[in-house]
Amino acid sequence: MALEVRFADSAVVEEGDTIIPYARALDGRGDSVATTVYWAALDTLIVQVLDSTTGATLGKRPGSGRLQARVGSLRSNPVSLTVRAQADTIFAPDAVRGTVTASISADSLSDSLKVQLQDRTSGATPVNLAGQPVTFQITYPSGGSGFTLIPQGSVLSGAGGIAAVRVRLVDRTLPDSVVVTATAVRANGQPVPGSPVTFVVEYLP
């Protein structure tokens, strides 16, 4: 008998979220055997198995953790997964209000509207988090009429944990303002504390 173990997708889980590995027992011909597979964590500071029969595993803290499957006395090779740091805060490192003079062209760009994501619980020093999605949205005027975001939609944080967009004036009667919100959500669906961050950009003729 042998054990086949793997993850259905990437072997990455966010701190505070769960992941479920896959395992099955195989006979000498490589066919599945109907038996219960049990899971255990080998690095209990990093990961915790919540259900030994399903393998549901909690990411406790950032790092690399190993799991092992078992059927009777037969044990699999350890499988590794990465626990990614969870954002504990989102905030604006710069001003949240700005002014743009659009006297020359009706197609004017604002300065960058920046937010920063950090993990502040994994160590003594805050850790800037790259690769975290942030959704920017125009909340005023209704429907974003007359303005557009560059880029639009979800933006991944880059170096320093910074995600940023700019506002482009397309066609509005000036003076006018645009309100933009930035929201980040954890893997478990909960908003990152500090969300939403609200920006106001005033356009002057």
Q: Give yes or no for residue 103 having a pLDDT over 70.
A: no
Percent of the chain with pLDDT over 70: 97
| pLDDT tens readout for residues 43-94 | 999 999 999 999 999 999 889 999 999 998 999 999 999 998 889 999 999 9
Rg of the chain over CA atoms, in angstroms? 24
Cα distance from N-terminal residue to C-terminal residue, the chain: 77
How buried is residue 104: exposed, middle or buried, by Cβ count under 10 Å (0-12/13-18/19+)? exposed
Q: Domains of the chain, with CATH numbers?
A: 2-84 (2.60.40.1080), 89-204 (2.60.40.10)
Residues paired with residue 83 on neighbouring β-strands, in sequence order: 13, 63
Q: How far is CA 113 from the centre of its chain?
A: 19
Q: Side chain identity at 85, as an amino acid letter?
A: A
Percent of the chain with pLDDT over 90: 64
pTM of the model: 0.75
Nearest CA to 163 out of 173, 172, 154 is that of: 154
DSSP codes joined into one string, 1-23 = -EEEEEESS-SEEETT-EE-EEE
